[in-house]
């Protein structure tokens, strides 16, 4: 039987909350700490502040037994054997990661250390952060033999974060001595041994008792670089296929076919080769900028990442122009919008291309009716309802009497729309798809003028108005 470890997780955002619940799920005692009293009260009551599959069920399973929520970091530090720091590292004005929250937490942890602790970087941080945390703790009077600072980067995708944690491609631990490595190996042993997958009620996924996730042990510096390099590479892959999609449009080819051909190569793989309106979210934009800044500080010219950022911004501009070309003029036009989150499966709207595009459409004088399965309430906080912006209860209400329907987020439920109903709900059967969710031939057969990304020319209904009236 795996040894139970007492773990403190500092921060109850996407990473901290998912890590807390999943550590409890694999058999450990967890104390989740946050200085936001209202959020802690919510979690104690079983409410989930984010949209994540499996998270409500696992929280209910372990709340008040294996996991507790508190604002008392000092007490949590004293009880825990390992302290995972999962606080925010937002982008600063220079593009670097703002580590002020990490610094503050390290200082507070230091004041409560009276016996050996392993402090674990779980937040996405630049290389050398490990050394700075160690200095901060030592400056607060903690003897070096009472702590080790390690790195354990997360590779969680919003919307599938629980499955990603429990069925990961790999588990990376960055350690500089065997004492700290031994504790981290014990923490992840239920996964790496395959023991967790024997449980009847384990969360289903790709891993199994016969094929558990591998554990990769590296230096702390390598682990810090792995996270930033991984996210930067994936962002680059998205930007690459988006440029290819623009070439496809110009050449008269279909990017879906090209993507399939590229992704079938085992050296490349099919993931993150989906053309669209650009990446967003809390990780890719911030991490690309932070990794570029780190490179510059180390005297390395990483101009490739500047191009990745430029391409991502350009992709949104190109889509905006695609909509303008389809409608000729914007002022007074009603747009039905499907999708507000930066991707399907989450309610996160941070750096969402959809939010940026809606803001531009409103500035141009459009009337917008928007729908998202999960992100409406968060969007209302940054784009309140107004005379020109309303939020619909479903896709068809958003499309009602619209001059065009725009698809901005790849929610699975949008692919199940009743196209016959949708056609007669719109004022004109025009669909401009920023996520390539539909088959062009089927859309033409159903009478739509259908424009997408990287698929030349679009398909057009013979007569949009007569198509509605026929």
Q: Are 401 and 390 in contact (CB under 8 A)?
A: no
In this structure, are 334 and 296 located in the same domain?
Answer: no
In this structure, are 253 and 393 located in the same domain?
Answer: no
CA distance linking residue 6 with residue 83, whole number of Å: 9
Active site residues: 283
Find how far residue 245's CA is from the centre of its chain: 23
Q: Is there a domain that residue 330 lies in?
A: yes
Q: Is there a domain that residue 385 lies in?
A: yes
Number of domains in the chain: 3
Q: What is the pLDDT of residue 469?
A: 39
Q: Are 447 and 441 in contact (CB under 8 A)?
A: no
What are the tens digits of pLDDT across the range 120-156? Answer: 999 888 888 899 999 999 999 999 999 999 999 999 9
CA-to-CA dists, residue 429 to 168, 332, 380, 468, angstroms: 43, 17, 28, 7
What is the secondary structure of 146-198 as a DSSP string?
GEEEEE----PPTTSHHHHHHT-S-EEEE-SSHHHHHHHHHHHHHHHTSGGGG
In this structure, are 51 and 156 located in the same domain?
Answer: yes
Q: Are 113 and 211 in contact (CB under 8 A)?
A: no
In this structure, are 278 and 179 located in the same domain?
Answer: no
Q: Is there a domain that residue 1 lies in?
A: no
Q: Is there a domain that residue 29 lies in?
A: yes
The last residue of one of the domains, among 156, 188, 218, is 218
Q: Are 239 and 311 in contact (CB under 8 A)?
A: yes
Q: What is the pLDDT of residue 470?
A: 38
Q: Is there a domain that residue 307 lies in?
A: no
> Which CATH number fits the domain that encloses residue 212?
3.40.50.720
CA distance linking residue 172 with residue 256, whole number of Å: 33
Q: Is there a domain that residue 377 lies in?
A: yes
In this structure, are 58 and 136 located in the same domain?
Answer: yes
CA distance linking residue 207 with residue 211, whole number of Å: 6
In this structure, are 214 and 231 located in the same domain?
Answer: no
The last residue of one of the domains, among 200, 218, 236, is 218
Q: What is the pLDDT of residue 468?
A: 40
Q: What is the pLDDT of residue 92?
A: 76
- Residues of the chain predicted below pLDDT 50: 462-470
In this structure, are 433 and 386 located in the same domain?
Answer: yes
Q: Are 409 and 343 in contact (CB under 8 A)?
A: yes
What are the tens digits of pLDDT across the range 32-49? Answer: 999 999 999 999 999 998
Q: What is the pLDDT of residue 458?
A: 62
Query: Domain range for residue 235?
Result: 227-302
What are the tens digits of pLDDT across the range 228-238? Answer: 999 999 999 99
In this structure, are 20 and 88 located in the same domain?
Answer: yes
In this structure, are 75 and 164 located in the same domain?
Answer: yes
pTM above 0.75, yes or no: yes
In this structure, are 120 and 247 located in the same domain?
Answer: no
In this structure, are 75 and 148 located in the same domain?
Answer: yes
> Which CATH number fits the domain that encloses residue 247?
1.10.1040.10
The last residue of one of the domains, among 167, 188, 218, is 218
Q: Are 59 and 224 in contact (CB under 8 A)?
A: no
In this structure, are 337 and 282 located in the same domain?
Answer: no
Angle at 202 between CA 198 and CA 204, to 5 degrees: 105
């Amino acid at each position: 039987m795996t040894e139970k470890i007492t773990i403190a997780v500092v921060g109850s955002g996407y990473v901290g909350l998912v890590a807390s619940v999943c550590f409890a799920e694999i058999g450990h005692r967890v104390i989740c700490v946050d200085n936001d009293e209202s959020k802690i009260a919510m979690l104690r009551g079983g409410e989930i502040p984010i949209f994540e599959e499996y998270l409500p069920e696992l929280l209910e399973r372990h709340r008040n037994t294996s996991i507790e929520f508190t604002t008392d970091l000092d007490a949590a530090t004293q009880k825990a054997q390992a302290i995972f720091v999962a606080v925010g590292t937002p982008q600063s004005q220079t593009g670097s990661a703002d580590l002020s929250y990490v610094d503050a937490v390290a200082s507070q942890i230091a004041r409560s250390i009276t016996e050996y602790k392993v402090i674990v970087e779980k937040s996405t941080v630049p290389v050398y952060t490990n050394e700075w945390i160690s200095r901060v703790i030592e400056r607060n009077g903690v003897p070096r033999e009472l702590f080790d600072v390690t790195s354990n980067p997360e590779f969680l995708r919003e919307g599938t974060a629980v499955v990603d944690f429990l069925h990961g491609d790999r588990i990376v631990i960055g350690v500089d001595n065997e004492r700290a490595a031994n504790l981290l190996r014990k923490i992840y042993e239920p996964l790496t041994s395959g023991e967790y997958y024997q449980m009847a009620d384990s969360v289903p996924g790709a891993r199994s008792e016969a094929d558990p996730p591998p554990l990769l042990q590296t230096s702390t510096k390598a682990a810090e670089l792995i996270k930033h390099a991984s996210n930067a590479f994936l962002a680059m892959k998205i930007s690459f296929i988006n440029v290819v999609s623009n070439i496809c449009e110009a050449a008269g080819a279909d990017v879906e076919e090209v993507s399939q051909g590229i992704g079938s190569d085992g050296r490349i793989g099919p993931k993150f080769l989906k053309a669209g309106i650009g990446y967003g979210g809390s990780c890719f934009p911030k991490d690309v900028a932070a990794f570029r800044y780190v490179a510059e500080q180390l005297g390395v010219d990483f101009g490739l990442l500047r191009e990745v950022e430029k391409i991502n911004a350009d992709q949104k501009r190109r889509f905006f122009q695609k909509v303008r070309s389809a409608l000729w003029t914007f002022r007074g036009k009603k747009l039905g919008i499907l999708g507000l989150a930066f991707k399907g499966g989450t309610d996160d709207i941070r750096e969402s291309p959809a939010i940026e595009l809606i803001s531009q459409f409103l500035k141009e004088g459009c009337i917008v009716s928007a729908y998202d399965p999960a992100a409406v309430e968060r969007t209302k906080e940054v784009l309140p309802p107004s005379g020109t912006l309303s939020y619909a209860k479903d896709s068809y209400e958003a499309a009602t009497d619209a001059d065009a329907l725009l698809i901005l987020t790849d929610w699975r439920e949008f692919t199940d729309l009743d196209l016959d109903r949708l056609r007669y709900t719109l004022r004109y059967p025009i669909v401009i798809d920023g996520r390539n969710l539909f088959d062009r031939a089927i859309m033409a057969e159903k009478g739509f003028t259908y424009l997408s990304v990287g698929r030349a020319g679009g398909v057009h209904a013979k007569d949009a108005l007569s198509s509605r009236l026929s």
